[in-house]
């Protein structure tokens, strides 16, 4: 488990590209046969990736959390971004095709990731936040998720948002999670930009070609910076930061939030004249 502390927005104004990337970009989450995790001190979110090859892989943070098991004080949202796999939760099997989501609530002791075909393994992405009560473990296949279409040709941001874990979907304590797909020839996400100082957010960009890049915009609205992001890299977005991006091609991203409230639409839109 890698440990990432929080950053003061005043200090961030002085950051070099290297320091910005070190604090906010997660470059490598998907390693065959391993479970990789980053512990963020923003709302104590854990961001992870698993590729089970050959042997199944257990959800385990060693002694980092100082709890007896990973979900003792936590809940988790898992999305498979690769070929078919399954997650076994205390003996119960949940099959996940590409883009299906599984929520597991507080207190589940034994969580194990498997690929259906180890030579063409599943790629599980997950985000976990603190929990105070148990909500039921639930799968939401992408086919059953409600699509919301947003954007326009003129703004190059025609996109579909699928919300998995939220107020009117899979219930959780504080975790919200969903996925946004951009149509071909559409490159912009989340512009006009917004803030929600009440919640942190994590973005995982994926389904990108090797040479494709997303320029992810971050920072306070009057002090914007950018991160150049590759396929299957994640960005930690602090509560004080905008989170928006433009790609060299279209792309898909998974967003997840944790923090003060439980309302997807709680966003403070930044006026264009305020962006610098
Ligand atoms: O395409 C979008 O717009 C988004 O996906 C926005 C994110 O979901 C978000 O920032 C929610 O707070
Ligand atoms: Zn947001």
Per-residue pLDDT averaged across 36-63, rounded? 96
Cβ count within 10 A of residue 186? 20
**CATH at 226:** 2.60.120.10
251 lines ligand 1 (CB under 6 A): no
Tokens for 155, please give them.
């703004």
Q: What is the mean pLDDT of the chain?
A: 97
Residue 248 within a domain: yes
How many Å apart are CA 131 and CA 136, to the nearest integer? 13
**What atom in ligand 1 is closest to the CA of residue 190?**
3
How many Å apart are CA 5 and CA 227, to the nearest integer? 18
The pLDDT of residue 248 is above 90:
yes
pLDDT of residue 189: 98
243 lines ligand 1 (CB under 6 A): yes
The pLDDT of residue 264 is above 90:
yes
156-180 pLDDT, tens per residue?
999 999 999 999 999 999 999 999 9
Residue 11 within a domain: no
CA distances 46 to 75, 125, 231, 272, Å, are 10, 11, 20, 33
Per-residue pLDDT averaged across 126-135, rounded? 98
273 φψ region: left (φ > 0), alpha (ψ -120 to 50), beta (else)? alpha
Q: Is residue 201 marked as binding?
A: yes
130 lines ligand 1 (CB under 6 A): no
Q: Decide if 64 contacts 90 (C-beta within 8 A).
A: no
**What atom in ligand 1 is closest to the CA of residue 267?**
12
Q: Whose CA is nearest to atom 2 of ligand 1?
A: 190
Please give the distance, rounded to the nearest whole angstrom, from the Cα atom of residue 87 to the centre of ligand 2.
Answer: 28
Where residue 54 falls among pLDDT bands split at 50, 70, 90?
A: confident
Q: Is residue 194 marked as binding?
A: yes
Task: Show the domain range for 263.
Answer: 2-6+16-274
Residue 52 within a domain: yes
237 lines ligand 1 (CB under 6 A): no
Q: Give the residue among 78, 241, 239 at the shortest CA–CA distance from 165.
A: 78
166 lines ligand 1 (CB under 6 A): no
Is the preceding omega at residue 192 within 30 degrees of 0, hence cis? yes
Mutation test residue for ligand 1: of 164, 174, 180, the one with most atoms within 8 Å of CB: 180
Residue 29 within a domain: yes
82-117 pLDDT, tens per residue?
999 999 999 999 999 999 999 999 999 999 999 999
Q: With b meaning 16 or more CB within 10 Å and e meaning fewer, what string describes 139-153? A: bbebeebeeeeebee
Residue 75 within a domain: yes
Q: Give the residue among 187, 73, 83, 181 at the shortest CA–CA distance from 130.
A: 73
Q: Whose CA is nearest to atom 4 of ligand 1?
A: 190
Mutation test residue for ligand 1: of 235, 237, 239, 255, the one with most atoms within 8 Å of CB: 255
255 lines ligand 1 (CB under 6 A): yes
By DSSP bridging, strand 268-269 and strand 194-195 are: antiparallel
Residue 219 within a domain: yes
Residue 27 within a domain: yes
Q: What is the pTM of this model?
A: 0.98
Based on its alpha-carbon atoms, the radius of gyration of the chain, rounded to whole angstroms, reads: 18
Please give the distance, rounded to the nearest whole angstrom, from the Cα atom of residue 109 to the centre of ligand 1.
Answer: 32
Total count of domains within the chain: 1
Per-residue pLDDT averaged across 234-263, rounded? 97
202 lines ligand 1 (CB under 6 A): no
By DSSP bridging, strand 2-4 and strand 35-40 are: parallel
Phi, psi (degrees; rounded to nearest 5) at 143: -65, -25
Please give the distance, rounded to the nearest whole angstrom, from the Cα atom of residue 137 to the centre of ligand 1.
Answer: 24
Counting ligands in written order, the one closest to the CA of 155 is 1
78 lines ligand 1 (CB under 6 A): no
Residue 21 within a domain: yes
């Amino acid at each position: 488990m890698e440990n990432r502390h929080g950053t003061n927005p005043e200090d961030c104004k002085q950051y070099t590209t290297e320091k910005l990337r070190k604090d906010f970009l997660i470059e490598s989450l998907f390693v065959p046969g391993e479970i990789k995790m980053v512990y963020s001190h923003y709302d104590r979110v854990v961001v992870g990736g698993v590729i089970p090859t050959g042997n199944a892989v257990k959800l385990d943070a060693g002694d980092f959390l100082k709890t007896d098991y990973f979900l003792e004080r936590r809940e988790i949202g898992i999305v498979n971004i690769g070929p078919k796999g399954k997650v076994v939760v205390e003996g119960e099997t949940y099959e996940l095709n590409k883009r299906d989501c599984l929520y597991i609530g507080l207190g589940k002791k034994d969580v194990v990731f498997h690929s259906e075909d180890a030579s063409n393994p599943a790629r599980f992405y997950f985000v976990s936040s603190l929990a105070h009560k148990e909500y039921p473990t639930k799968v939401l296949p992408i086919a059953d998720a409600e699509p919301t279409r947003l954007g326009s040709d003129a703004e190059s941001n025609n996109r579909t948002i699928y919300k998995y874990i939220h107020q009117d979907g899979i219930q959780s304590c504080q975790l919200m999670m969903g996925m946004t797909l951009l149509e071909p020839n559409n490159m912009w996400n989340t512009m006009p930009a917004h803030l929600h100082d009440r919640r942190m957010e994590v973005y995982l960009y994926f389904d990108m070609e090797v040479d494709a890049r997303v320029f992810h915009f971050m920072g306070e609205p009057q002090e914007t910076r950018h991160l150049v992001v590759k396929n299957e890299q994640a960005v930690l977005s602090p509560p004080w930061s905008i989170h928006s991006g433009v790609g060299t091609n279209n792309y898909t991203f998974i967003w997840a939030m944790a923090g003060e409230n439980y309302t997807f639409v709680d966003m403070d839109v930044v006026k264009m004249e305020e962006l610098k």
